[in-house]
Amino acid sequence: MGNFRWLAAVALLLNLVAAGTYADEVVRTRDAQRAALMSVLQAPHPNVDGEKLGRIGPDVQAILVETATGKAGLAAMRMRALGWLQYYPNATSKAVLLSAIAHPESQEALRVALAALSNGFGVEALPQLQAHLVHKDAQVREAAAHALGHLDDRRVRSILEAQLEREPALAVRDAMVAALQRISARERKR
């Protein structure tokens, strides 16, 4: 019976956060914020953005940093926390993401950090994304190509075109072509 009540409370919390009716004053303590955030991190398909995370409380970024950089807990939660740092584009998040890129826990962590850096910091991510277009792992190169396609910078097209000719993996070439198409569509709208 206790597990059912806990699950019902978590479901209610997720519904309140998703609906935007979760008042800031409801979650006051850092422990309460941590519990709420952990519930969202563990949800099968959380639909979050910076605004929804912010409703949990003012310490969310710090808790995400602790979760992303900690070695305890599930790797999936660490990866999700790392990815959600994109909603906090400041020096702390950038430092954590750059550290995760320089010393990745796994190839998945590297891909997540590259995407989060691109989504949260835009063109500032260009050097890291460009460097990872030649990574030994094709999935990392593919993630870098996808992320580059979202950057609005005139240099991206030439970077992708130059690497496309040398890329051996079909999935990575496909990602590069899709990124180039995204860039072309953006340019046509101007």
Domain range summary for the chain, segments of one domain joined by +: 1-88, 110-190
Distances (CA, A) of 110 to 32, 37, 79, 106, 119: 30, 23, 9, 6, 14
Q: For the beta carbon of residue 39, count every other beta carbon within 10 angstroms.
A: 20
pLDDT at 19 over 80: no
23 class by beta-carbon count within 10 Å (0-12 exposed, 13-18 middle, 19+ buried): exposed
pLDDT of residue 57: 93
Tokens linked to 5: 């009540």
What is the topology classification, in CATH, of domain 110-190? Leucine-rich Repeat Variant (1.25.10)
The first and second tokens of residue 2, run together, are: 């206790």
> How much is the mean pLDDT over the chain?
88
Q: What's the average model confidence in pLDDT over 97-120?
A: 96
Tokens of 77: 């939660």
Q: Greater confidence, 100 or 19?
A: 100
